[in-house]
Structure 1
């Protein structure tokens, strides 16, 4: 199926749906100016200082760093936290909100992104499942208590030359030990997933109420296929939007080549045009 036919099919599904399930990977944020960590080179373009120090994304996105070099680990995550707070979600988020407003059950988001951009764009926080956690909450490095708390009071000051945190690191209010982001990292045995588990229970309840869902998947790659696999388990009306890895079995859905914002705008033109 070519792109134009796939777009028409996708719009027919969106018009007929009574609920919009949005599944999103890292590619969703690229049009908002967020860095693409796809491959080692993508990570190093965003963090050249860490390239010079010989760190890969897997090295720095690892709980071991908070024991071995906590100022560097917090420099990386602190920079990301400040970046996500300053980022304005692109217009594609608004398009999805508009489509959802026409559906009986609205929208629910399932995302591997930890940036909080869907909440910032106006999506209901109770209808978002963040399967890898969120940078906007903190937890104890030692997981002394099965609880995470908002990061609102932490304002990181990061040295751009060394990628190290310069101000005080956040502490656990329960034991006084070091705190870290409530994000599922590589080789992570201490991630507190209670908050994410509650979100996924809400998602399961929502899915149980929707009779004709359409899935719109945005920027989810094969490297960590959590989002893609989740989409494909949701039935036969999946719209996969991806500039490179857009292939999908025809029994599951349609693939559309392109970036998230561009394709959403093209879909919306057809959606609003009635043809």
Structure 2
């Protein structure tokens, strides 16, 4: 299948498309969900505006940051300031619940279906909503994990307790020096377990999840599968979007569905077996 074919754009999240998606959900033998940042945004995990301004007023005053995401890449002069910022960032995006129960609504639709979730999100919202962790593959990491910055070994470390301590003890945009995390093996500074470059650690848990995902795909490749893409953008199409198109194309029993606030294009070769709904994911799930 060539991805250089022309694409067809959605004309909007009409009732006809929602009804068709509902029917496909009910009739599918299995549902493979591909979830991107748009799903968490619909749940209220926004990275700019009021939420950013309420949690980082001091960093905004000092540096003029406009959003939470880009501020995370700023080259802070000290690790104490770096982790003062990141401990807040981690806590509100990983350990606090999303403002809206969009993930819970999705689980309610999938609870009685054979399903699996492939996601580029790193905020743990699926497990917080009650999804079985054995049906999840977080490809890009987890805000709740640290790794060695070198990395000297392929292991990750839970950061919940340390993050809460950093929050409680930071002052004037800095944490105490003794709270700066270092690798327990080589002593190098720890860093986030987020896929940004070739140093990303794929630990044992990552590989087990990858194997479960591949097994789910293999076992259902000829069945009536609904490939349900939710809020996936164009930054990393090779992880969810392109594979979903490919698997739908190869399986005549499959249907591809895309729900997105922005782009919902599909290759013209899938026009007859695709559902495209442009709209807020939480609203669409409520209609379903």
Q: Do Structure 1 and Structure 2 share a fold, with TM-score over 0.5?
A: yes
| More relative contact order, 1 or 2 (CA 8 Å, 6+ apart) | 2
**Partner residue in 1 for 2:260:** 242
Structure 2 vs 1, CA of residues 259 and 51 (structure 1 numbering), >3 Å: closer, same or farther?
farther
**Partner residue in 2 for 1:213:** 225
**Partner residue in 1 for 2:115:** 107
Q: In the TM superposition, what are the counterparts of 1:1-275 in structure 2 within 5 Å?
A: 3-36=14-47, 49=59, 53=63, 60-62=71-73, 65=75, 69-83=78-92, 84-88=94-98, 90-103=100-113, 106-154=114-162, 155=164, 156-157=166-167, 164-165=174-175, 168-185=179-196, 188-194=197-203, 195-210=205-220, 211-225=223-237, 226-235=239-248, 236-249=254-267, 250-251=271-272, 253-267=274-288
CA shift, 1:102, in A, is 2.4
- Alpha-carbon separation, structure 2, partners of 1:201 and 1:132: 15
- More deviation, 190-199/253-262: 190-199
Is the 2:156–2:193 Cα contact (8 Å) retained in structure 1? yes
Over the residues paired in the alignment, what is the CA RMSD in angstroms? 3.2
Give unpaired runs (5+ residues) of structure 1: 268-275
Give the 3-state SS of the residue equivalent to 1:153 in structure 2.
Answer: helix
**Partner residue in 1 for 2:7:** none
CA shift, 1:162, in A, is 6.7
- Alpha-carbon separation, structure 1, partners of 2:186 and 2:96: 31
Structure 2 vs 1, CA of residues 137 and 127 (structure 1 numbering), >3 Å: closer, same or farther?
same
- More deviation, 139-148/226-235: 226-235
- Alpha-carbon separation, structure 2, partners of 1:234 and 1:152: 37
Number of aligned positions between the proteins: 258
